[in-house]
Homo-oligomer: A and B are copies of this chain.
Amino acid sequence: VATASQPDRERQVAPLRGALLGLIASRPRSGYDLAKTFDLTLANVWTAQHSQIYPELAGMLREGLVRVRAEGTRGRKEYAITAKGKRELVRWLTESAPPTRISRNESLLRSFFLGFLSVEQAEELLRREREVHEARLERYLDDERSFELLKQRGGPEPMGDGYTGAIPLQAGIRFERMMIEWTEWALEEVRRRANAPAGRGRPRG
């Protein structure tokens, strides 16, 4: 058999792998660091537990995408990106469009079925929803202020080189504002429907 194990050439790069490579490329990090970053910084767009991160790091090490730059105290292993890893990162960033969709938004999924709730229950649901987004917007605006301060002082990107966290932050701010406006619109719509003649359409017979 001639065509031996070609190193899985053109498979898509998984987002977890891409994110890990990006973070390691910004600055060398340990598995522990990476887990914390997912928790604190990326959590709004992607999550990963350490139980997912350590095996992925081991795999990337095997494939030569990262190397152990230094071993610290308490068994700490600090990973740095390799040239091959850098190429894989760019491949992830430039490969054909991912399924962007709002895909898997449980709140929006529920909103398809508001008609099964009483008006009061539906209002309650939408109000709770709005509160979540209001709280999150506040947090993002705080983050924005911190970014602004750092920039004015001419400081470096907080997470390292190549990291452009201010750009997704803007998406977050706009997303939360949009969702707040939407919940308000939906509240009115729910009330409109409650007052309208039962949605079944006027009898035509």
Binding site for B on A (CB under 8 A): 15, 18-19, 22, 25-26, 42-47, 86, 89-90, 92-94, 97-117, 121, 124-125, 128-129, 132-133, 153-157, 161-168, 170-172, 174-175, 178-179, 181-182, 185-186, 189-190, 193, 199-202, 204
Contacts and interface: CB of A to CB of B under 8 A. Distances in A.
A46 to B, nearest CB: 5
A106 B116 contact: no
Nearest to A115: B162
Contacts of A99: 106
Given A106-B98, A164-B113, A201-B154, A125 B93 contact: yes
A163 B104 contact: no
Copies in the complex: 2
A167 B114 contact: yes
Given A15-B109, A115-B161, A178-B178, 20 more contacts: A18-B109, A19-B113, A22-B112, A25-B113, A42-B112, A45-B103, A45-B104, A45-B105, A45-B108, A46-B105, A47-B104, A94-B125, A97-B128, A98-B106, A98-B107, A98-B110, A100-B105, A100-B132, A155-B201, A175-B175
A35 to B, nearest CB: 16
A49 to B, nearest CB: 14
Nearest to A110: B93
Nearest to A174: B178
Contact of A110 (B18, B110, B115, B166): B18
Given A110-B18, A162-B116, A170 B199 contact: no
A168 B165 CA distance: 29
